[in-house]
Structure formats: structure tokens, C-alpha cells
Amino acid sequence: MSQTIREKTKLLNRVRRIRGQVGAVERALEQEIGCADVLQLITGARGAINGLMGELMEDHIRIHLVSPTPEHAAEAAEELIDVVRSYLK
């Protein structure tokens, strides 16, 4: 069972907080808030997204790479590599 199922409520709460942070960025831009304040809001949203990504990546590694069957490990590793590559673009 993956973390997205086991920790569904926790993950959805994190996503909702991220949505709120992105909404704050939008409101700040609409209200023409200063650049430094908008950048700070963006930094917070980015940190929250990175935290969510890190949590899911950690669980993926623990569940699918640490002690799976050999054929499943190779597939899970390829999935993780693809995600990391696209994330770092």
C-alpha cells in the first residue's frame, strides 16, 4: 500500500495549505504588493511543494526500493529517475 493511500488525509491537508500559499501569491500580485514580499510568499510555496515532493519520494524509496522483489525494484527505480529528471528541469 502506498503512502498516498495510507497518508491520504495528511497529504491532502498539505496540498490544501500549498493551494492557500499560491492563492496568497496571486492576491499579493493583484494588490501590487512589493516585490520582496511576493518573493517571500513564492519561497514559502516552493518550500512547501519541495517538502511534499520529498515526503513522497522518501516513501517511494522505502516501499518500492528497499525491500521489494528485484523486478519491481528496477521498475520503481526507473519511475523515480523519471520523476527526478522532470522535477529538476
Q: Tell me: the pLDDT tens digits for 45-86?
A: 999 999 999 988 888 888 777 776 777 788 888 888 998 898
Rounded to the nearest 10 degrees, what angle do helices 70-88 and 35-64 cross at?
170
Residue 1's pLDDT band, with cuts at 50, 70 and 90, is very low
Q: What is the pLDDT of residues 21-54, one digit of tens each?
A: 999 999 999 999 999 999 999 999 999 999 999 9
CA distance 28 to 55: 28
Return the amino acid letter for 75: E
Residue 2's pLDDT band, with cuts at 50, 70 and 90, is low
CA distance 64 to 54: 15
Return left, alpha or beta for 68; rule: phi > 0 is left, psi -120 to 50 is alpha, else beta.
Answer: beta
